[in-house]
Amino acid sequence: MSLSNILKLAGGALNAQTVRLNTIASNLANVETVAGSEEKAFRAKRPVFATVMDQVSNEIQKGYGVTVKTITESRRANQQIFDPDNPLANSEGYVFRSNVNPLEEMTDMLDAARSFETALTTASTARELMMRTIDMNTK
């Protein structure tokens, strides 16, 4: 039945958005993190979503779900800060700051929260319609 499949689709969307919120929280927590080299420095993480198609039934008309395909790291250069007193500083006295942009993360968080809410509303509407269908009023 297609209405119950909506609950499955919405569940997948909620899961994907949760992963996204998780990476955003991790990025924001590491805004001020420094490291001794560019390789060790923290890089902003971002999930990449992909569409899930039903491999079993192969029905084209079905609604497509979503899943987290992979998590990529930002390739933006890490800022070098001259801080010779820092125990992590390299031989020249530099530390490498994480390349997280807090503004970007905050707007991404708003979008993720909005998408989460929309998926939740989708599920509750589908549930309501199922309930209405089950107790059809035929007095």
Partner 1 sequence: MSQIDRALGIFPTAAAIQARRLEVVAGNIANASTPNYRARDIDFRQALRDAGDEMRLKVTHRSHIETPEQLTTRALQYRTPLAPSRDGNTVETHIEEAAYGDAAGRYLAALRFSEGALSGLRKAYRGD
Which residues on adjacent β-strands are paired with residue 82? 94
* Among 24, 34, 44, 66, interactor with partner 1 by CB under 8 A: 66
Q: Measured from the CB atom, is 32 or 73 closer to partner 1? A: 73
Q: Which stretch binds partner 1 (CB under 8 A): 33-41, 70-78, 83-91, 118-126?
A: 118-126
Tokens of 51: 């569409």
- Which has the closest alpha carbon to 106: 31, 5, 10, 16? 31
- The footprint of partner 1 on this chain (CB under 8 A) covers a number of residues equal to 38
Smallest gap from residue 20 Cβ to partner 1 (A): 8
Q: Measured from the CB atom, is 31 or 46 closer to partner 1? A: 46
Do residues 106 and 44 make contact, with C-beta atoms less than 8 angstroms apart?
no
